[in-house]
Amino acid sequence: MDGKGRMAAQVEAPKLQEMRIYAPSSAAEAVAGVRYVTRQPILDLRSKVHAYELLFSSGPETAFRGDREVAARMLLDSTVIFGLEKLTCGLPGFVKCTAEMLTGTLVQMLPAAMTVLEIMDPGEVSPELMSACRTLKAAGYGLALDQSQWEPRAKPTVRPLVKMADYLKVDFSRTNPRNRQTLLGQLSDTTAALVAEKVETQEQFRAARDEGFSLVQGYYFCRPVLLGSRQVPANRLSQLEILRLLKDDSLNLHKLTQLVKRDASLTYRLLRLINSPVCAMPQEVHSVQAALLAVGEETFRRMATVAITSEMNAGQPLELLRMAFVRGRFCELAARACGLDGTEQYLLGLLSLLPAMLRAPMKDLAPTMPLREEIRRALMGEKVTERSVLDWLEHYEHGDWVRCGEIASANELEEAGLLCSYQEAVAWTEAALYFA
């Protein structure tokens, strides 16, 4: 694990069962100002997270708009309830802002050192806006402009903002290589980092790299080039078998031990987790049997699942593992409120990104999954009841608030509860990743 990952977990390792983001006293309080909060990763060319774009909203909009008092309350709620440093793991957070917010005092509630203000729809850039941007930049805030604001057809008055910006975004969903070459040719007078956004495939990632972009925003790492219907490696099949054993009501210790001992890397990961401050062992544990006896079945199941998933993700972006952990923990927590099995939901969320980890299609992986048929169907994307929570989360990850509301309504899911579950899942994940 790299240094940034350790910094994100803070100096002292958090405990999985104790770590919490600030939770409102009631569900109503949680959604009074901010109904939705999610994050989208911005990665460098090594697939390491550079920053997160944060989307806060009380409805379908993804930016703070409208009445100044409402916007102020939303900003305050987002920083107090969610904690930007927790949502971004201590990395910079991009926040979309209107010109009105920038010329006022609203954004000053956000921590300057970890906030990038993404300017939306400035129209005519007034002297007041330019002055405000200079002041904010001097205070330590970063500035970003998306393509619609800075491209050549934008109003000439925007050019001073382009020179001042720290980041300039280009939308890959509505440009081609020739368009982008023309756009980037207009930027000889700026030192801003170029961000390729809405990058959804490996091909687009490679294009961004080759065209000179330094940062990429999108979920391309969740949609890798699959290697067809290749055989799943034997060690992965063994790890899936361990997951199946871990799900059984009564652990078959002998069989489990034999399978884990055959995988040296997995054994190392598991014992490292068991001996970490997460479990607070009074003395070091040196065997799988001793680990199970020392921490108990439930903690052992959870630690082993974390270790296996980390091993499966070896060689892939850390953000992919982070998303898998968030999905697993979120689905487990949300299951409590909608009559679903928490253990099954944990595995459903965790394994939903397995095709990206193993670069094999789900149709080849699903038959090997340690799950009953309905959960396998949910992994295949079928709209079964067991998939309702994961379906909500997948749309939430992409900021599709309208669809989230439709799914919650159709499945009688309490959105305030889902929001709190997401907060807790993010916090739990950072604790797990510290030792993954």
Q: For 173-205, write each residue's pLDDT tens digit.
A: 888 999 888 888 877 777 899 999 999 888 899
d(CA 75, CA 87): 14
Q: How many residues belong to the chain?
A: 436
| In a shared domain, residues 173 and 240 | no
pLDDT over threshold 50, residue 345: yes
In a domain, 17, yes or no: no
Give the pLDDT band of residue 363 (cuts 50, 70, 90): confident
d(CA 20, CA 425): 9
For the record, the structure tokens of 38 come out as: 């999610």
Neighbour tally for 203: CB within 10 Å: 11
Which of 189, 222, 255 is the last residue in one of the domains? 222
| In a shared domain, residues 190 and 293 | no
User: How distant, in Å, are the alpha carbons of 28, 129, 317 from that of 65?
Assistant: 22, 16, 34
| In a shared domain, residues 177 and 277 | no
d(CA 206, CA 118): 25
| In a shared domain, residues 173 and 150 | yes
**Burial class (CB within 10 angstroms; exposed 0-12, middle 13-18, buried 19+) of 140:** exposed
| In a shared domain, residues 210 and 270 | no
Contact yes or no for 337/27 (Cβ under 8 A): no
d(CA 239, CA 311): 9
Mean pLDDT, the chain, integer: 79
Q: Which domain holds residue 108?
A: 31-222
| In a shared domain, residues 318 and 422 | yes
| In a shared domain, residues 347 and 263 | yes
Q: Which of 198-202, 312-316, 404-408 has the lowest mean pLDDT?
A: 312-316
Which of 222, 253, 268 is the last residue in one of the domains? 222
pTM beyond cutoff 0.95: no
The CATH code of the domain that includes 118 is: 3.20.20.450
| In a shared domain, residues 171 and 243 | no
| In a shared domain, residues 252 and 286 | yes
**Residue 279, φ and ψ in degrees, nearest 5:** -100, -15
In a domain, 3, yes or no: no
Going by C-alpha positions, the residue among 423, 422, 390 that lies closest to residue 407 is 390
In a domain, 401, yes or no: yes
In a domain, 243, yes or no: yes
The CATH code of the domain that includes 309 is: 1.10.3210.10
Region 325-353: mean pLDDT is 90
Which of 193, 222, 251 is the last residue in one of the domains? 222
In a domain, 22, yes or no: no
In a domain, 15, yes or no: no
Contact yes or no for 132/102 (Cβ under 8 A): yes
Beta bridge partner(s), residue 40 = 53
Q: How many domains does the chain have?
A: 2
Segment 368-395, tens digit of pLDDT: 777 789 999 999 999 999 999 999 999 9
| In a shared domain, residues 209 and 242 | no
In a domain, 272, yes or no: yes
Going by C-alpha positions, the residue among 169, 84, 147, 155 that lies closest to residue 126 is 155
pLDDT over threshold 70, residue 149: no
Q: Which of 55-59, 121-125, 195-199 has the lowest mean pLDDT?
A: 55-59
Contact yes or no for 100/68 (Cβ under 8 A): yes
In a domain, 290, yes or no: yes
Region 141-164: mean pLDDT is 77
- What burial letters (b/e) apply to 335-351, b meaning 16+ CB within 10 Å? beebebeebbbbbbbbb
